[in-house]
Amino acid sequence: MTTTTAGTAGTGNTPDAGVFDAHLEKVFKHRMVTVQMTNKIFGGTPQRPDVIEAWLRTKTGVSQEAELAAMTKRTLMELDPEIAEEAKGKSAYELMQLASEKLAASQTTVGFKKDRNGLFIESRQIKAGLKESINIQLAGTMLGKNGKYQGKGAKNWLAERVFVGPERVYLDKEVFDGLELFVGHVNGPQGPRSTLTYYQYATRPQLSFRVATLQNQVIEEHWPAIWLTFQSVGLGALRSQDRGRFTVVGWEEIEPVPLASLEPEWVNDAGDPEGE
């Protein structure tokens, strides 16, 4: 059997045509989902420490000097009393420089991945949120237990039958909008201590992606409860702090296409997008 290369208009890559692609509509239901972030979405991928240093150094203008000096003193006292001792007698700029070097070298920064199209989150994050939300709503419920489909727990049913694409869901931003510092408190062998983590955030981006569902008739009635739960659970990092909430503003049935065709066409031989 011979296959030819065919593209799907507007979907990015041009993979080899699948011999079963003509049957996609019989197997899958595709929907285009559009979500509007209510406020900020926080990245959760570890970043290079110099991101913190670069960000902090941009805040050393005269108008913000007193505020930054006060912030630095507070964080330094929580972070390392020895460094706080070294900071005595230094100017606000010198104190800021000392703080940026210390924090950049020893603390954590997390944020977004980025390629030539800008910042993005991964489809696996959205699917994880769907799994979490259906588990909240339908824990202990067997889906498909009646009729021809074998019953399975709701979370496992969704994991095997619901797919999100493309793999990279873009925020339509070239750079993050800001850094936010979160202070945690942990107890260890050396006693209580503070942990500092800087999170990159993007303000009110709108995200669009596809949700492809097998045996959609089994889950169709549950989609409103799943998405309403997901909206409150949130997307991205710091969901436990009530961050990352959103509103679904689009849920449109569209023609199915192979999910592989949604990936960027600028890939290298290893299957990774080039130019990152």
Domain segments of the chain as ranges: 27-45+112-176+188-257, 50-106
Mention every residue, 6+ apart, whose C-beta is less than 8 A from residue 129. Answer: 230, 233, 234, 235
- Return the SS3 of 23: helix
Strand order, beta sheet including 246-254: 162-165, 206-214, 28-37, 246-254
7: its two tokens: 């593209």
pLDDT in tens, 18-46: 889 889 999 999 999 999 999 999 998 87
Domain 27-45+112-176+188-257 -> CATH class: alpha beta
Question: Which stretch of DSSP H or E encloses residue 221?
Answer: none
- Residue spans of the chain under pLDDT 50: 1-12, 59-63, 68, 75-81, 105, 148, 276
The per-residue pLDDT for 45 is 84
CA distances from 133 to 13, 144, 224, 232 (A): 31, 18, 11, 9
Burial of 186 (0-12, 13-18, 19+ CB in 10 A): exposed
pLDDT in tens, 82-99: 555 666 666 655 655 665
